[in-house]
Amino acid sequence: MSYDFHGPFNGALDQYTGHNAALKPDPNEPEATMAVNDFNVEAAANLFLMNGVPKSKINVGLAFYGRGYGGVAPVSETGANDGLYSTYTGPAGVGTWEKGSFDFWDLNANYINKNGYTKHVDSLAGVPYLFNPAK
């Protein structure tokens, strides 16, 4: 499993909101260069290959959950007002199983383009994400 590259963990490499399972790097990400280059599914699969794991033994899955951030700054480090790469205070105040952790069925039923949440797509990273400036 190669997910949870970013989340509301408040770690040294999680200073900004980001994707838990980006497919590719996004050069707009303001985290440290190592995080930008290595914290994505493509880089993880390539690392396995470079270390001798046969292609036939690698199965890239899909994260059917999302990570939610709380206290997200209204404008991101890139100047956008969509929540991506913004500062935050911790995990979202709600979640499916725990604060800041959402199953896909919950996202689909209650959040994707509902209740003030708007779906966006980071075309460079190959990832959809949600933002609600009021929450």
The amino acid present at 30, given as its one-letter code, is: P
User: What does the mean pLDDT of the chain come to?
Assistant: 92
Q: Could you say which architecture CATH assigns to the domain 33-131?
A: Roll (3.10)
Per-residue pLDDT at 2 exceeds 70 = no
Domain boundaries of the chain, sorted by first residue:
33-131
Residue 82: its pLDDT value, please? 92
pTM of the model: 0.89
Residue 89: its pLDDT value, please? 95
